[in-house]
Every structure is written in C-alpha cells, then in structure tokens.
C-alpha cells in the first residue's frame, strides 16, 4: 500500500527495531513508547480497520493473538500485558494499517 508507514517498515524501507517476525506478522518497538515495553504487532497484509475483516483475516487475527500469548514471556511480558487496537478518529488512530499495541513491563494504569 502506497504511503503506508507500516507497509514501508514491513518492507524494510523504513528502519524499525524488530523483536519478532514470521510470514504473517512483524512485531517491532513503538517509536514513542508509553510503557516500559511497548510493541506493535502488525500483520503483513495491509488493511486498516476491523470492519474490513473477512474469514481469512479473522483467522489471521486469532492466530496472531495466540502468537502474542506464546511470545509474551520472551518479550519481557511474563507478568502480564495489555493489548490495544485503536479504531478511527475517536480512538486517535494515526496509522491506518491494522496493528495491535502490546503494553507491559510494568504495572499499567488505566488510560
């Protein structure tokens, strides 16, 4: 997708600090962390919103959540973590390529 910063990160055109990648997702450090551990889990496939889910993307998302759970201890998230998916303007979504924020590494306040 042209002019999508996360597509460019996935393609390696923009540098990122990757902590995990496979054929379906890339996980890298958020450039402006709001917690001691702040990662972004991004599907390689470009789509912007949950409203664009179809059967294959639903399955992808399910596998992605399981992957995050399996990877958590190796990412410094053994004491728990929070997942956030911002959707649209009111949520402050700034990058329109679906991504899951993974927050942890400390006790998290609410908001």
Report the catalytic residues: 99
Per CB under 6 A, does 14 bind ligand AMP? yes
| Identity of the residue, 18 or 63, whose beta carbon is nearer to ligand AMP in the bound complex | 18
- The C-alpha atoms of residue 24 and residue 2 are separated, in whole angstroms, by 19
- Residue count, binding to ligand AMP (CB under 6 A): 12
In the chain, the DSSP E strands lie at 18-21, 25-29, 37-43, 81-84, 100-104
Instruction: Tell me the Ramachandran region of residue 95: left when phi exceeds 0, alpha when psi lies from -120 to 50, beta otherwise.
Output: beta
Which residues within the stretch 8-47 sit at the binding site for Zn ion (CB under 5 A)? Answer: 46
Strand partners, 65: none
Per CB under 6 A, does 30 bind ligand AMP? yes
| Identity of the residue, 55 or 82, whose beta carbon is nearer to ligand AMP in the bound complex | 82
Per CB under 5 A, does 81 bind Zn ion? no
CB 61: neighbour CB atoms within 10 A? 17
Per CB under 5 A, does 108 bind Zn ion? no
Give me the sign of the Cα torsion angle 54, 27, 13, 94.
positive
Per CB under 6 A, does 95 bind ligand AMP? yes
Residues that bind Zn ion (CB under 5 A): 1, 4, 6-7, 46, 97
């Amino acid at each position: 997708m042209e002019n999508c910063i996360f597509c460019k990160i996935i393609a390696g055109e923009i540098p990122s600090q990757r902590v995990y990648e496979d054929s379906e997702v890339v996980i890298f450090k958020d450039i402006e962390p709001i917690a001691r551990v702040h990662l972004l889990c991004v599907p390689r496939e470009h789509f912007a919103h949950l409203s664009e889910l179809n059967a294959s993307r639903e399955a992808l998302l399910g596998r992605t959540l399981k992957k995050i759970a399996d990877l958590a201890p190796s990412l410094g998230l053994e004491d728990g973590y929070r997942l956030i998916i911002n959707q649209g303007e009111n949520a402050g979504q700034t990058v329109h390529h679906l991504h899951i924020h993974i927050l942890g590494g400390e006790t998290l306040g609410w908001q």
